[in-house]
Structure 1
Amino acid sequence: MKKNFFYLLMVLSVMSVFQANAQSKFKGIVKDNQERLSLYGATVRVLSPGSNLEEKITVDFDGTFKISSVKAFGTIEISMNGYLTKEIPFYKTKDDTVDLGTIYLEENLVVERDVVVTTSSIDVIKDRKTPISSSTMRNYEMREKVSNKDFIELTNQMPGVYTSKVGGGYGDTRINVRGFEQNNISPMIDGIPVYDLEAGIVDWANIASMNDIATSIQLQRGLGASKLVNSSVAGTMNMILRNANHDKGGFLYNSVGNDGYKKFAGSYSTGLLKSGFSANMLLSATSGDGYVNSTNFEAYSYYLALGYTKGKSDFQFKVFGSPQTHSQRVSDIRLSDYIARGNGVDEPGYKYNRDWGYLDNKEYATKVNFGHKPLGIFQWDLNFTDKTQLSTKFYGSKGTSGSTNFSGVIDGDAALTWPDLNGQIDLEFIRNFNSGNLAVWTSPTTGNAFTYQRTPNYNGQYINSDFTGTSNTTGISLVSEVTNQTFYGGIVNLKTELAKNLVLSYGLDARNTVYNKTRIVNDLFGADGYDPDFATTPSYSLNTNNTALPEAMFDFTKKNLGATPVDYKYDAKIAYLGSYAQIEYDIWKLNLLAQGGFNRQFIQRVNYSLGDYAESTPGSGVYDIDNNTSESTNELPIDGYNAKFGVNYNITNKHNFWANAGFVSRAPVFVTVYSGLNNDINPNYKNEKFQSIEVGYGFRSKHISLNLSAYSSTHDDAETPYYTPELGNFGTTSGINRINKGVELAITAAPIRKLIFNGTLSLGEWTYSSNAIFQDLRPTTGGGLSDPSELLIKDQKIGGAPQLMASIGANYELFNNFIFGSNLKYSDKMYSSPALERYDPVFYGDVFAFKDPVRLPSFAVVDAFASYRFKINVNDAIDLRLNIDNFFNKKYISESNTSYQLDSVDPTSGTGSTFRNNGNVYNGVAAGNNAFFGLGRTWNFTVRYEF
């Protein structure tokens, strides 16, 4: 009996210990030791004896945390990137909660330098220190919110930012910041500019999986903090890749969504090994049919980072690529055409896409974008001392991108003017005509049938071409405009502390870029061959000896579809060397920042004339294109420079003011300098000038974070080239001057622990400050140029983005690890953005020249989500998330590139009456205007397993 009682007493004692251990709870507040600000996002971990991880949580918005332990003793570890880790040992046997009070973390100067220098020329904004307006998305925010959207759409919730899906294709989203188009925004990957220097475009599709591999994406509005001279005039987007020594672990990700959307991704990181080596890798595959008709897509991505840390050196090698192909909706569509493909009265067919047709009863997309431009980076960071560090970065890329397009005409009309009864391209008609058969086309407007038949071009054959001289029929082909891109360069950055709180950064930036531009044939649609001559007149019947070429010449092109260059081929060569310097000085409550830089850019064009054909061996009958004939321009040097200055003043721990000012002189892009498909230089090119001044105010407290800024920017001497694949840049609009000014507000509040509100407000006033000039660059019959035309745009509103935007959102944790929320964004004062040359009253006449941009209807869009995270064990967890974008299926016009007013003459009426009188109106807008609609309701469900 005594023995049994003794055993029972032991069991009860052990159970009481377990119960006491299960009740071990801790709470506290984590703050910065200098600014006394709550460190939202800090990590709190419970380590049991032996430093084994038992529990891990993230500090709440107000800096508070609560965590428990099943052990009677161990260590509480509090850490955050940029701060020294603090460890608090505990020994506890009582059943209560230990209040650890306020835990102050000390800034880790070494880690902070690593953050800046590891990314080399990327300059990360520091809150309450750097006098720049910015917004940041962290990786966990991107992976939660991206849904099946393009990652660039996530910036739409930032103040001053508007994104549009344009035609709705994968990766085709465009971004507008403070009223500036995206060709005035500088995207950078790990401090490397990926802005297209040849055409000024931004290829988001090539980096569409950036949200999977970036630790953060920071948009710096206005001047930005980048030291590089090729900085933007509207904003800089820093996409910071994960380093090889990222936290050990990985994830598997599977997602499904509307219209056949599927994505799978897997990633693993070794963490920093004892040997100093580390590795991080990711693979993903994405596909779908697209929300818009015939916008299917298929994309893959890969990422590999290898690292080695030894002594004072840290080496990182990274390679990233995202091969993709996607069908597009590119061609203009009038509002009346949407309505005709809807109910015919007032409900448009929002998914209508005219850029496809049927061939052999199969869907055939005629606008397809493709590309694969991998990027490789090698970086070496060397810490000479705690105060001096040298960062050296080399990078390179070689890849191809392009898009398909139609070439040629039938009876003077291009392919888009031959629709079938459903409004799609009548590809069967085109094929019948191209092959010489009797082709019947039925007008979808009148129902009348018309017959056409082609005569042979040469020796009974039907040869297509793009010749646009006096020919009324050249046959219609599908071709690809292809860019073979090669660039490589390096950045060397030295950062040193000259004196206490005085830091100097100095660097060199060099880069060489070659864009090889050409055209290839994808489909002849029944024709026997294609005239691949690069000359300005057809040469399908003559060779260099003015004798008839045999049929083998056409076989050469036909048998090498997708390989033989046709119509044109040239190299755009751009090289530059720049230097910059930056001074940072902290004194008392003031933070001072000054930057300056200069670069010289060398532009050169090499034109290849491939119109000569010859037998590879005399008498062999095998004809090849002579690829050796080329004509090169001299290198044209163009200088650029910038200077910026800013100051931040921390009034108290809660309040700060800041201001910045600066100017940028930016060299024009290549297609602005060289006009047309030849080596002639545009006589009107100039550097673009940008000046800006901005002031801001910040407020931080336990429950609220607020940023308010006001800006005024002038952008002068901008130029827009007008381009077609057949003519090159046939004209240019120069002297585009504008003033963009506005106010922006961003606020985040946490009134209670589980509820977070966020909101933004952007109010802009964006106008042209002078008239512009259009110059037709095509020679007149006399050999000169026609007189320039004045475009009446002074005081006109700048379109392309709403000048009033407001958003409000909320996230609420209903119970542990279950969060749901929504966000509403309202947009107003949005105007159309037509080609400025349409404001020429002399050329177009008073009737058809645009006079004012159209104000588009306001709209509000609501997004919603719900997510739940459950843990499998300490290290493993599964996340479930449902995103529903445009929850209420709001139908709205996202952009327009024409400006027909209600009282403008309706060109489709044939009677000279107005849109208003004809009743040709949609939602208060003349239905003759081209437009793209925003996407309706879309959804996405994701399962993510972390280990």
Structure 2
Amino acid sequence: MMNTIIKRAKSQESKTKVFKIKTTFYFLLFTCVLFAQEQPKDSVKSIEEVLIYGVRAKDKNPITFTNVSKTQIAPRNLGQDIPILLNYLPSVVTTTDAGAGVGYTYMRVRGSDGSRINVTLNGIPFNDSESQGTYFVNLPDFASSLESIQLQRGVGTSTSGAGAFGASLNLQTKASQQNGYAELSNSIGSFNTRKHTLAFGTGLHNNFEMNARVSKIESDGFIDRASSNLFGYYFDANYITKNTIIKAIAFGGKEKTYQAWYGIEDEDKLRNDRTFNPAGMYFDANGDMQFYDDETDNYWQNHFQLHWNQKLNSKWQSNVALHYTLGKGYFKQYKEDEAFADYNLADFGSITTTDLVRKRWLDNDFFGTTFSLNYKNEKTDFIIGGAANKYQGKHFGEVVWTQYYVPTANKYYDNFGNKNDVNFYSKASQQVGKFNVFADLQYRMVFYQANSTKFDDVNDTFRFFNPKAGITYTLNNSSSVYGYFGIANKEPRRDDYENGSIKSERLHDFELGYKFRNTKAFVNINAFYMKYKNQLVATGALNDVGSPIFANSGKSYRAGIEIESAIKPYKWLTVAPNITISTNKNEDFYFQRDGMLQNLGNTNIAYSPNLVAGNAITFTPINALQITFLTKFVGEQFMGNIDAEKSVLPDYTTSDLNISYEWKINKGIKSIVFSGLVNNIFDRTYESNGYFYTYDDTWSGPGTTTIEGAGFYPQAGINFLAGMNLKF
């Protein structure tokens, strides 16, 4: 009876919370519409300027960046996630747990992982506030609702959220559509991969417009049991006049993925059983190997955004955004021979250990506002803005089954993490003759409170000043040179507190570049030097839930040169190669080996290949047909910071073939687009990621011996995706 009452109370509490959210959201939208109708009406800027003007770099800014449009994404958007779609950009390295680009996918830029890449969605922070990671698996098929992407390498411009210690990724959702449309997309492929998408829009009528999308993606994965079952959605409602744009957006998703976080450690299995997945493995009473069928990750995430852009006059405009993100989920694990006492459970008679199934939960709310005021004339572009965001996170674990009894209402830990993040910035771009001078000042405050079973209670405050400055000199109508210097600071993550690495980091970023562009060619040559203090580098090891462990490395640097280009010698041919050559070093790196603290001198930073290159050759023999051959090379890299032979992740080269043909009908159906993608067309055997660990062996004999080991994440051989998109 009591359990029923508790369930009803929780259900009522949840309904009340949802009702309050919806009421607040609709009230704000209604208020904005009423106020907006009273504003002067001159002209309206593009949706792109409305949502992401404050965080995007412009052509004349001395920032190293690459823009990607929705038309560039579309031919390969057949179910794989956003990091995989960006695989061929300069300095980008991608990997996926399931081995085929669906499910958990990751990207590194200049050797920096996703927790060090600042990601914003329409200028709203996307990185998880505590882990600072980016989990695109929570936004299935989000690429189908994107208008454009900008990848800034280095510190870049000021933005909200976690500090950019390798790159910033700015994503802009669907722009306003003048005409109504509907699209039905379906694709199938290897490993029983399927994607189904329905999208439609009303077009702009009487100042109003709506767009919507629902998507379903499923895949068995290349790795055993590494299945994905994903649902995603997107909706926006827009009010647009000559001077006002109000955009209400809701998007999100639900994912269920079988865990594939642990890779393969056994060398024999890596050679002969590359799809082996140790997740969920246990041994029954007869000693036979079994796999728990529900070793899954389950997460729901819903985003709500309200943007209001107001053109005040010909030179001034303002932008205010409110946002709320609700995330909740858990992963289940089968654990063998665990002590009852470790889970606050009573022993079963004289039996003190048991096999059990546990759920580890994360329940969080993230909400706040971003704002900016922009002045712009022919020579001056000035913007002031900022953001205030709040994160409230709950971390708790439950035991849902033991082999002796089923516990009730058991929480074996119950912790929290709360974070307030406030920043203010001002940016100015001034044209003086052939010079464009750029300055960007940001002040950021972070207030973090948390508790855990692994660290003492935290109540920390961080205050960061992040200045950036640069200059661009126009040589002629086709070319320019630029120089840039920026400082970024970054607070530790929750996992860093758990691992004892609690120092904040600082980065000094120097960039020097040359740009050339005409009707037939584009070239950007950029040299960079990124000097770090207390950089949190991946050790190569994983924690008990498969997440990388980081440690402060003292002094370190990344230095290199990036060349990005696109050449169009003929109307039907485009060649777009890029290459990054770099050196990435820890300075005077100390390591405890064989019982002694040793100075290893300068060592390679983990997961930082010295050579990364890509190329795309695109043929368009007729307007409706596009054939693209893509190649990616990733050089040898170390998975730890001690240059150990066992930590080497070998270099690899992969090639994909992408074909897209649009059959225009214009009779009921506007057109049908047929797309095909053959990944790893030469069937290369490779691993794109791995882990490296060490431990001290004090039992084998006198003294202490450091034992080293490694694991790898195999990727799929040749595989395909094929799709058909009906446009109405």
Q: Partner amino acid for 2:615?
A: I
Alpha-carbon distance in 2 for matches of 1:662, 1:927: 38
Report what 1:572 is aligned to. 417
Q: Partner amino acid for 1:654?
A: S
Contact 2:517 2:523 in 1 (8 A): yes
Report what 1:488 is aligned to. 367
Q: Partner amino acid for 1:257?
A: G
Q: CA deviation at 1:201?
A: 2.2
Contact 1:807 1:824 in 2 (8 A): yes
1:775-828 CA-to-partner distances (Å, cap 9, x unmatched) read xxxxxxxxxxxxx98564541112324321222321112344122231122222
Q: Partner amino acid for 2:526?
A: S
Matches within 5 A, 1:82-481: 115-119=48-52, 121-123=54-56, 125-127=57-59, 129-168=60-99, 170-228=102-160, 230-243=162-175, 245=177, 247-274=179-206, 276-310=207-241, 312-339=243-270, 347-357=271-281, 364-365=292-293, 367-407=295-335, 409=337, 457-459=347-349, 474-481=353-360
1:671-722 CA-to-partner distances (Å, cap 9, x unmatched) read 434x48xxxxx6x632210001011111112221111111000121134799
Of 514, 525, 528, which residue of structure 1 is paired with 2:405? Answer: 528
Alpha-carbon distance in 2 for matches of 1:385, 1:410: 68
Contact 2:485 2:510 in 1 (8 A): yes
Q: Partner amino acid for 1:194?
A: F
Note closer, same or farther for the CA distance 1:685–1:729 as it changes in structure 2 (3 Å cut).
Answer: farther
Alpha-carbon distance in 2 for matches of 1:515, 1:946: 42
1:31-54 CA-to-partner distances (Å, cap 9, x unmatched) read xxxxxxxxxxxxxxxxxxxxxxxx
Higher RCO, 1 vs 2 (CA within 8 Å, ≥6 residues apart)? 2
Alpha-carbon distance in 2 for matches of 1:568, 1:636: 22
Alpha-carbon distance in 2 for matches of 1:393, 1:882: 39
Contact 2:212 2:234 in 1 (8 A): yes
1:24-78 CA-to-partner distances (Å, cap 9, x unmatched) read xxxxxxxxxxxxxxxxxxxxxxxxxxxxxxxxxxxxxxxxxxxxxxxxxxxxxxx
Alpha-carbon distance in 2 for matches of 1:757, 1:508: 40
Contact 1:868 1:880 in 2 (8 A): yes
Of 842, 858, 868, which residue of structure 1 is paired with 2:661? Answer: 868
Q: Partner amino acid for 2:552?
A: S
1:98-117 CA-to-partner distances (Å, cap 9, x unmatched) read xxxxxxxxxxx966575323
Contact 1:357 1:365 in 2 (8 A): no
Alpha-carbon distance in 2 for matches of 1:762, 1:608: 42
Of 836, 842, 859, which residue of structure 1 is paired with 2:652? Answer: 859
Q: CA deviation at 1:140?
A: 2.1
Alpha-carbon distance in 2 for matches of 1:158, 1:727: 30
Of 447, 455, 458, which residue of structure 2 is paired with 1:602? Answer: 447
Report what 1:820 is aligned to. 627
Q: CA deviation at 1:773?
A: 7.4
Report what 1:51 is aligned to. none
Report what 2:610 is aligned to. 803
Alpha-carbon distance in 2 for matches of 1:379, 1:876: 32
Alpha-carbon distance in 1 for matches of 2:108, 2:472: 27
Alpha-carbon distance in 2 for matches of 1:401, 1:930: 28
Note closer, same or farther for the CA distance 1:703–1:634 as it changes in structure 2 (3 Å cut).
Answer: closer
The TM-score normalised by the length of structure 1 is 0.65
Note closer, same or farther for the CA distance 1:743–1:720 as it changes in structure 2 (3 Å cut).
Answer: closer
Of 682, 687, 693, which residue of structure 2 is paired with 1:888? Answer: 682
Query: SS of the residue aligned with 2:191?
Result: helix
Q: CA deviation at 1:408?
A: 5.3
In the alignment, structure 1 segments of 5+ residues that lack a partner are 1-108, 340-346, 415-455, 463-472, 530-553, 558-563, 610-630, 677-681, 775-787, 840-849, 915-925
Query: SS of the residue aligned with 1:211?
Result: helix
Report what 1:758 is aligned to. 576
Contact 1:657 1:698 in 2 (8 A): yes
Note closer, same or farther for the CA distance 1:727–1:174 as it changes in structure 2 (3 Å cut).
Answer: closer
Q: Partner amino acid for 2:576?
A: N
Q: Partner amino acid for 1:707?
A: N
Alpha-carbon distance in 2 for matches of 1:352, 1:726: 19
Contact 1:227 1:595 in 2 (8 A): no
Note closer, same or farther for the CA distance 1:689–1:884 as it changes in structure 2 (3 Å cut).
Answer: same
Alpha-carbon distance in 1 for matches of 2:141, 2:525: 32
Alpha-carbon distance in 2 for matches of 1:793, 1:405: 38
Alpha-carbon distance in 2 for matches of 1:727, 1:355: 11
Report what 1:94 is aligned to. none
Range moving further from structure 2, 388-397 or 748-757:
748-757
Contact 1:595 1:644 in 2 (8 A): yes
Note closer, same or farther for the CA distance 1:827–1:638 as it changes in structure 2 (3 Å cut).
Answer: closer
Report what 2:534 is aligned to. 717
Higher radius of gyration, 1 or 2: 1
Report what 2:25 is aligned to. none
Q: Which has the higher strand share?
A: 2
Report what 1:705 is aligned to. 522
Report what 2:28 is aligned to. none
Residue 686, structure 1, aligned to residue 507, structure 2? no
Alpha-carbon distance in 1 for matches of 2:50, 2:654: 40
Note closer, same or farther for the CA distance 1:823–1:566 as it changes in structure 2 (3 Å cut).
Answer: same
Contact 1:335 1:348 in 2 (8 A): no
Contact 2:127 2:162 in 1 (8 A): no
1:183-236 CA-to-partner distances (Å, cap 9, x unmatched) read 111111111111122123221211232211111121111112234474311100
Length, aligned pairs only: 670
Report what 1:80 is aligned to. none
Contact 1:116 1:122 in 2 (8 A): no
Q: Partner amino acid for 1:655?
A: S
Residue 737, structure 1, aligned to residue 555, structure 2? yes
Q: Partner amino acid for 2:303?
A: L
Report what 1:615 is aligned to. none
Alpha-carbon distance in 2 for matches of 1:794, 1:253: 55
Contact 1:896 1:929 in 2 (8 A): yes
Contact 2:44 2:243 in 1 (8 A): no
Q: Partner amino acid for 1:762?
A: T
Alpha-carbon distance in 2 for matches of 1:725, 1:886: 31
Of 934, 940, 946, which residue of structure 1 is paired with 2:715? Answer: 934
Contact 2:93 2:634 in 1 (8 A): no
Report what 2:672 is aligned to. 878
Q: What is the identity percentage for the equivalent residue pairs of Structure 1 and Structure 2?
A: 19
1:344-375 CA-to-partner distances (Å, cap 9, x unmatched) read xxx43221112245999996445422211111
Q: Partner amino acid for 2:613?
A: A
Alpha-carbon distance in 2 for matches of 1:639, 1:589: 37
Contact 1:121 1:491 in 2 (8 A): no
Alpha-carbon distance in 2 for matches of 1:927, 1:644: 42
Alpha-carbon distance in 1 for matches of 2:129, 2:580: 30
Q: CA deviation at 1:732?
A: 7.7
Q: Partner amino acid for 1:870?
A: W
Query: SS of the residue aligned with 2:411?
Result: coil
Query: SS of the residue aligned with 1:743?
Result: strand
Report what 1:6 is aligned to. none
Alpha-carbon distance in 2 for matches of 1:581, 1:789: 49
Query: SS of the residue aligned with 2:710?
Result: coil
Residue 505, structure 1, aligned to residue 505, structure 2? no
The TM-score normalised by the length of structure 2 is 0.84
